[in-house]
Structure 1
Amino acid sequence: MKTRDILITVLVMAIWGFNFSMIKLGVNDVDPLLVAASRFLFATFPIIFFIRKPNVPWRYLLGYGIVFGTGIWGMASTSITFGLSSGMAAVLLQIDVITTVFVGVWLYKETISSRMLSGILIACVGIIVSIIYTNGNVSLAGTAFILVSAMCWPIAGVIMKQSGCKSPFAFNVWGMLFAPVPLVALSILINGFDVLEITYQHWNSNTWISVLFQAYPTTVFGYWVWNKMILQYPMSQLAPLTLLTTVFALLSGYILFGESLSNAQWISCSAFLIGIALVIIKPKNKAVNLTQPIKSPH
């Protein structure tokens, strides 16, 4: 990769890592599903008027919007509300690498190499130790929500893959058109219509900062850069850089909220990320088949 492209990709990883702290900033005062809905509303408009609709059936865009909006980021935001620190949410969301591998085996008859299997086992041990030896930064409910989010990542990838779309950025923008309504509907279903009035009353400057950061630097700029890079470079070069997102998430969580890991979690999270690296980093002279063409950890 060119030095300039490496630097701008690392910048995006920093933005995506910082994004988890921005989610926490917003969901401290406002329902997480409505924060996520606002994110996608602002990320979609007005940019959608300048991006041509991809030549795919509407059902793929609808399905992607629901899975990407509610399944991934609605659940990830909710996990922080239910007790996960922003840093641990970023760490545990990397489980999506493992779920993507299993979906590839199930749907596309891909094989798991001994290297990948070792990485998965190491990562799973790291997850278990991180949960057991929590210092208050992990909860069972939060973990359950982030697991749902991680399981939805490969589903979103499958929807895009099946659509045959050649323009992932346009697909993402038009798919986000269908994200806000299901998120709002789910919030009302769970909390009643009063949640709308309560959200209005508690919406403050922190919420605005959270939503606008998630919408523009994270989603619009981040995806624009990421999709430019995947058109220029093989995923085997880009995938390892996504691990930096977790590093930046842990760092920003510490700086903004004083979040920290227990001693056991430092070791287990390191083991987890080493395991994930074994799964996603291309072995020498071997090709990598990723089922998720725009997989991103933000």
Structure 2
Amino acid sequence: MKEKDFLLAILITFIWGVNFSVIKLGLTSLDPFILSGMRFLLCSLPLIFFIKKPNVSMKYIITYGLLFGVGLWGIVSLGIYFGVSAGMASLILQFSAFFTVILAGLFLKEEIDILKKFAFAIAILGLTLIISVTDGSVTFIGLVLILVAALSLSFTNIIVKKAGTKNLFSFMVWASIFSPLPLFVLAFFTQGEIVFTSFFEHLDNTAIFSILFQVYPTTLFGYWVWNNLLHKYPVSSVAPISLLVPIFGLMGSYFIFHEQIGLIKILASFLIVSALVVNSFGEKIYLKLYGEK
């Protein structure tokens, strides 16, 4: 990979990691569902009027929009709102990689080999350590919500594979139009009409920054660059860099919110990142060392 592209990939993982803290900043002013709804409204408008619809079935576009906007980021925002720190949310969300393996086995009939099972076991140890954290950065309901979001992210991975689209930027823009309405409906049912009548009253500079950061650097720019890199280089060259996301997530939470990073969190991070490495590259490493599986 060229040095310029490598640095660009690092920048994207940094943006994605820090984004969890930016979400938390937005939650100081706005309801989590309103915050997420505004993100995806601006991801789609006005771009949808200028970008051609991807050549895939609408059922994939709609389902992706609901799962990615509501099931993933709406629930992540809710999980952070209910007490999971930004850093821990970025780490827990990595469980989507293991859920994706399970879903691929169920829906795509892909084999779940012994190395992937081993990786999942390591990740469970990491999750056990996260549950034992007592510094207030993890709550039970928040943890459950982030795991639900991770499961939603796994389903979006399956949808992308089933849809077979290569133009993921167009796919993202068109899918995003189906996220805001259900998010706004959830905001109404959970908080009432006050979240709408007082919206501009709470829309301070911090909330505006949070929304714009999530829309442009994180979603539109981030996914556009990342998908271009995936087309330009082998997946094996690009994918490992994404392992930096939870590291930047924890660092962002430390510097912005002064989250404590103790031994337990370091061990949990090490276990989960190690599990991701085994899950993604264990077979290649094994074959290189032993020549056969």
> If the length of structure 1 is used for normalisation, what is the TM-score?
0.92
Q: Matches of 1:196 and 1:175 in 2, distance apart?
A: 24
Shift of 1:11: 0.6
Matched, 1:195 2:181: no
**Hey, what does 2:110 align to over in structure 1?**
110
Counterpart code for 1:251: M
Shift of 1:234: 2.5
Write the mapping of 1:134-213 to structure 2, written as runs, cut at 5 A.
134-213=134-213
Shift of 1:282: 5.5
- Alpha carbons 1:135, 1:261 under 8 Å: kept: no
Q: Which runs of 5+ in 2 are unaligned?
A: 288-293
- Alpha carbons 2:100, 2:158 under 8 Å: kept: no
SS of the residue aligned with 1:136?
coil
Counterpart code for 2:113: S
Counterpart code for 2:98: I
Q: Matches of 1:91 and 1:208 in 2, distance apart?
A: 26
Q: Matches of 1:263 and 1:160 in 2, distance apart?
A: 37
- Alpha carbons 1:21, 1:253 under 8 Å: kept: yes
Q: Matches of 1:178 and 1:247 in 2, distance apart?
A: 31
Q: Matches of 2:112 and 2:160 in 1, distance apart?
A: 23
Shift of 1:89: 0.2
Using the TM superposition, name which of 80-89 and 127-136 deviates more. Answer: 127-136
Shift of 1:182: 0.9
Q: Matches of 1:7 and 1:114 in 2, distance apart?
A: 34
Q: Matches of 1:113 and 1:274 in 2, distance apart?
A: 17
Q: Which runs of 5+ in 1 are unaligned?
A: 288-298
Deviations 1:31-56 (A, max 9, x none): 01110011111122222233211122
Q: Matches of 2:206 and 2:127 in 1, distance apart?
A: 31
Write the mapping of 1:96-135 to structure 2, written as runs, cut at 5 A.
96-135=96-135
Q: Displaced runs of 4+ in structure 1, greater than 4 A?
A: none
**Hey, what does 1:80 align to over in structure 2?**
80
Deviations 1:262-295 (A, max 9, x none): 32221122112111221122633789xxxxxxxx
Using the TM superposition, name which of 163-172 and 204-213 deviates more. Answer: 163-172
Counterpart code for 1:187: A
Percent sequence identity is 38
> If the length of structure 2 is used for normalisation, what is the TM-score?
0.93
Quick one: structure 1 residues 166 and 133, their matched pair in 2 at CA, closer, same or farther if it must change by over 3 Å? closer
**Hey, what does 2:274 align to over in structure 1?**
274
**Hey, what does 2:226 align to over in structure 1?**
226
Q: Matches of 2:282 and 2:80 in 1, distance apart?
A: 32
**Hey, what does 2:35 align to over in structure 1?**
35
Shift of 1:195: 2.0
Quick one: structure 1 residues 176 and 21, their matched pair in 2 at CA, closer, same or farther if it must change by over 3 Å? same
**Hey, what does 2:290 align to over in structure 1?**
none
- Alpha carbons 1:31, 1:199 under 8 Å: kept: no
Aligned pairs, how many? Answer: 287
Counterpart code for 2:83: G
Q: Matches of 2:253 and 2:273 in 1, distance apart?
A: 18
SS of the residue aligned with 2:198?
helix
Q: Give RMSD over aligned pairs.
A: 1.6
